[in-house]
Amino acid sequence: MHSESLTPDAMSMFETNVSKHFCFLPEETVIVFNVGGQLFKSTVKIWTRDRFSILAQLCTKSPKLRPDKDGSFFFDRDFWVFRLILAFLRDNKLPDAVEELRELYSRMIGEDAMVANVLQTHPAVSINIPTAAVIEEKDGKSASSVGESSDFSILSKYGQLPDPFGFTSKK
């Protein structure tokens, strides 16, 4: 639902319903997120730009997670990527560098999915993966013995993943 398509009365009703479920802290309150050991400080106004996000939920009077002893919320994630999320919340802009966008996309869908999409652009490529790393069912039987290898195309696992911006196809 886009706010541009709502009438003023419908928008007011929507906001009333949302505010019943989300009781955010005052906008000027500073919230700290510890992401991968790096501290990110900003106001509730910034963290709640996407009111339905996990970050926004932690800016409510009754967050689902408890902060650490130092008052920050800890996420065991890559701070290098999170800095781009904070920049987006502040400026409403994605990075201009294609490589940074590729990195964000790959972290979002996972590295093995990135490989699958690259292989999809070159379908003749297949790789030899030990079955200990990837367990694949063949004819209803599980192939999982360590050291045994099989010729395996990752396409079967990730062939249908979307890549609307072409981040996985290197130019």
| Contact assessment for residue 33 and residue 63, using Cβ atoms and an 8 Å cutoff | no
pLDDT 10s digits, 67-83: 999 999 999 988 988 99
User: Residues near 7 by Cβ (< 8 Å), separated by ≥ 6?
Assistant: none
Whether the pLDDT of residue 33 is over 90: the answer is yes
Residues shown for the chain: 171
pLDDT in tens, 91-145: 998 888 888 778 777 776 665 555 555 555 545 544 444 444 444 444 555 444 4
DSSP state of 145: -
Would the pTM count as exceeding 0.85?
no
CATH code 3.30.710.10 region(s) in the chain: 13-91
- May I ask the CATH class of domain 13-91? alpha beta
Q: Whole-angstrom Cα distance, residue 73 to residue 34?
A: 6
pLDDT of residue 121: 52
